[in-house]
Amino acid sequence: MPVINRIAEFHSEMTAWRRDIHAHPELLYDVERTAGTVADKLRAFGADEVVTGIGRTGVVGVIRGRNGGAGRVIGLRADMDALPITERTGQPYASTVSGKMHACGHDGHTTMLLGAARYLAETRNFEGTAVVIFQPAEEGGGGGKAMVEDGLMDRFGISEVFGMHNLPGLPLGHFAICEGGIMAASDEFSIEVEGHGGHAAMPHLAADPVITCAHIATALQSLVSRNIDPIRSAVLSVTTLNAGTAFNVIPRTARMGGTVRTLDEAVRDQMEEGITRVATGIAQGFGAVAHVTYRRGYPVTVNAPAQTAFAAEIAAEVAGTAHVDAQADPTMGGEDFAYMLNARPGAYIFIGNGESTELHTDTYDFNDEALPIGASYWVRLAERALAPA
Ligand code: NI
C-alpha cells in the first residue's frame, strides 16, 4: 500500500511516541503531560503557531502552506484522553498508572496526527493552511464541544474538519466510512412515577407505581417497533428500575431509566417526544403521575456528503479501492467529534486496527502498524484538499 516513503522512514519514531503516550495515560481534561508532549513536538517540527489551553487542555497547531497559508483552512482532529481501566495487556510499554489505560487507541490517534504534522511542516506541499487539533475529554467529558465553544473554528478560520478512529476487527490497511450518521446520538432518560402508597393487601386504596412502571417499560419498546420508520435506526434500553423496600407495602414512587441511541436528529426528537408521551399517558391511565427527564448527550456524528466522498477517495489512494468500504454500517456508540461536525462540514473515518480485542477492554492495544497508514491518510488529505490551483 502506498504509505508515503518519508513517513515510513519515521515509523519507528512514531512507534516510540505512541508507546510513551500509552505508558502515561491521562483522563478527561487532565491531559497535561500528553498535551505538553504534543505542543513540544509541534514546536520542534516547526509548526507556525502552537496554541495550548483551547477547551481547557486542547492543543492546536497551525501549519501554513508554501504560499504563506492564504486560502482554504482545513482542520484535522485527534483525541488525547484515556479510560479509567486497569491495563492487562502485559506489554513492556503498558500503563504505568493503575486504573488508567489507553483502551480506545487515542494514543495512536494522537501519534498519527503528530506524524502527519511533522511531514506537513517539513514539506509544505500545499497552499492554504492545515490546522491540527488535539482534543481532551472525548470519553464522556465533551472536550470537542469545549474546544468549539472556545472559538476553535472561527479563531483559526477552519472551513472543514476531519476525524479518524481505529476499529478493531477491520483489517489493517483498511478504511471504512459512510455518509450521514456514522456514530449515534447518545442520550439518557429517567422517569419517576408518583402514585399513592398503601397496604399491599389493599391495592384498591393505592395507585401502584410498580405496576405502572412495568407497563411503561413494556410500552416503551413499541416506540422503536411502531413509531420509528423501519428504515431508520433507534435503540431504547431500559437499564434501571427501582422501587419499594418491603414485601407488604405498595410504595409511593418508582423510578426507571435507560439509554437511547439514534442516528438522525429527527428520530432523536421523535424518541424524546415518544418517551414523554407514553410514560405520562400510561401513568395517567393508572392514576399516577410520571415525571420524565430526557438528557441529551453527544449528538449524532454526521458525515457531510462531499467531504465523505473526498475522504473515501483519499483512503483509496492510500489503501487501494478494494480496501475502503465507503458504505460501512454506522455504529451505535457515541463520539464527541459530533460537535465539530455540527460546527463545520467534514467526515469521520474508521481505520483498521486488525484483529485486536475490542475498544474499552483491558487487553486492547492500538496496532503500531497502522501508524504510517493513518499518518499518510492525513497528509494526502491535507495535500489534496489544499492542492495549488
Ligand atoms: Ni475513542
Question: How many Å lie between the centroid of ligand 1 and the Cα of residue 105?
Answer: 6
- Looking at the structure, tell me whether residues 166 and 48 fall in a common domain: yes
Q: What is the structure's pLDDT at 257?
A: 97
Question: How many Å lie between the centroid of ligand 1 and the Cα of residue 63?
Answer: 25
End residue of a domain, out of 231, 266, 295:
295
Helix, strand, coil percentages in the chain from 3-state DSSP, rounded to 5: 40, 25, 35
Would you say 385 and 10 are in contact if contact means Cβ atoms under 8 Å apart? no
- Looking at the structure, tell me whether residues 258 and 365 fall in a common domain: no
Instruction: Give the C-alpha separation, 68 to 168, whole Å.
Output: 39
Would you say 104 and 124 are in contact if contact means Cβ atoms under 8 Å apart? no
Question: How many Å lie between the centroid of ligand 1 and the Cα of residue 249?
Answer: 46
Instruction: Give the C-alpha separation, 267 to 108, whole Å.
Output: 34
- Looking at the structure, tell me whether residues 280 and 339 fall in a common domain: no
- Looking at the structure, tell me whether residues 103 and 49 fall in a common domain: yes
Instruction: Give the C-alpha separation, 311 to 212, whole Å.
Output: 50
Q: What is the structure's pLDDT at 389?
A: 80
End residue of a domain, out of 253, 280, 295:
295
Q: What is the structure's pLDDT at 25?
A: 98
Instruction: Give the C-alpha separation, 179 to 377, whole Å.
Output: 18
Question: How many Å lie between the centroid of ligand 1 and the Cα of residue 259?
Answer: 19
- Looking at the structure, tell me whether residues 48 and 164 fall in a common domain: yes
Q: Quote the number of domains for the chain.
A: 2
Instruction: Give the C-alpha separation, 319 to 204, whole Å.
Output: 69
The pair phi, psi for residue 320, each rounded to 5°, is 95, 140
Question: How many Å lie between the centroid of ligand 1 and the Cα of residue 262?
Answer: 18
Question: How many Å lie between the centroid of ligand 1 and the Cα of residue 290?
Answer: 36
Instruction: Give the C-alpha separation, 192 to 210, whole Å.
Output: 11
Per-residue cell: 68: 504563506
Per-residue cell: 228: 420509528
End residue of a domain, out of 260, 295, 330:
295
Q: What is the structure's pLDDT at 2?
A: 78
Q: What is the DSSP string of 169-210?
A: TSPTT-EE--SEEEE-EEEEEEEEEE-B-EETT-GGGSB-HH
Question: How many Å lie between the centroid of ligand 1 and the Cα of residue 103?
Answer: 8
The domain of 329 spans: 5-182+301-385
Question: How many Å lie between the centroid of ligand 1 and the Cα of residue 51?
Answer: 23
- Looking at the structure, tell me whether residues 151 and 202 fall in a common domain: no
Q: Which residues pair with 78 in a beta bridge?
A: 134
Per-residue cell: 288: 399516577
Which residues fall within 8 angstroms of residue 268, CB to CB, at 6 or more apart? Answer: 185, 187, 260, 262, 296, 300
Q: Which residues pair with 254 in a beta bridge?
A: 193, 243
- Looking at the structure, tell me whether residues 264 and 312 fall in a common domain: no
- Looking at the structure, tell me whether residues 349 and 374 fall in a common domain: yes
Question: How many Å lie between the centroid of ligand 1 and the Cα of residue 29?
Answer: 15
- Looking at the structure, tell me whether residues 380 and 271 fall in a common domain: no
Question: How many Å lie between the centroid of ligand 1 and the Cα of residue 106?
Answer: 6
Question: How many Å lie between the centroid of ligand 1 and the Cα of residue 251?
Answer: 42
DSSP label at 244?
-
Question: How many Å lie between the centroid of ligand 1 and the Cα of residue 102?
Answer: 9
Question: How many Å lie between the centroid of ligand 1 and the Cα of residue 336?
Answer: 9
Question: How many Å lie between the centroid of ligand 1 and the Cα of residue 166?
Answer: 8
Q: Which residues pair with 278 in a beta bridge?
A: none
- Looking at the structure, tell me whether residues 145 and 10 fall in a common domain: yes
Per-residue cell: 365: 492495544
C-alpha to C-alpha distances, 262 to 116, 328, 330, nearest whole angstrom = 33, 17, 10
Question: How many Å lie between the centroid of ligand 1 and the Cα of residue 104?
Answer: 5
Question: How many Å lie between the centroid of ligand 1 and the Cα of residue 192?
Answer: 33
- Looking at the structure, tell me whether residues 267 and 163 fall in a common domain: no
State the residue for C-alpha cell 493552511: 129
Instruction: Give the C-alpha separation, 384 to 310, whole Å.
Output: 9
- Looking at the structure, tell me whether residues 160 and 210 fall in a common domain: no
Could you tell me the CATH number of the domain that includes residue 234?
3.30.70.360
pLDDT, averaged in runs of 10, over the chain (389 residues):
87 98 98 98 98 98 96 98 97 98 98 98 97 96 97 98 98 98 96 98 97 98 97 95 97 97 95 98 98 96 98 98 97 94 98 96 98 98 95
Q: Is 154 helix (H, G, I), strand (E, B) or coil?
A: helix
State the residue for C-alpha cell 515510513: 8
DSSP label at 71?
S
DSSP label at 227?
I
Q: Is 331 helix (H, G, I), strand (E, B) or coil?
A: strand
Per-residue cell: 282: 400510561
Could you tell me the CATH number of the domain that includes residue 330?
3.40.630.10
Q: Is 95 helix (H, G, I), strand (E, B) or coil?
A: coil
Question: How many Å lie between the centroid of ligand 1 and the Cα of residue 39?
Answer: 21
Stated pTM of the model: 0.91
Q: Which residues pair with 196 in a beta bridge?
A: 207
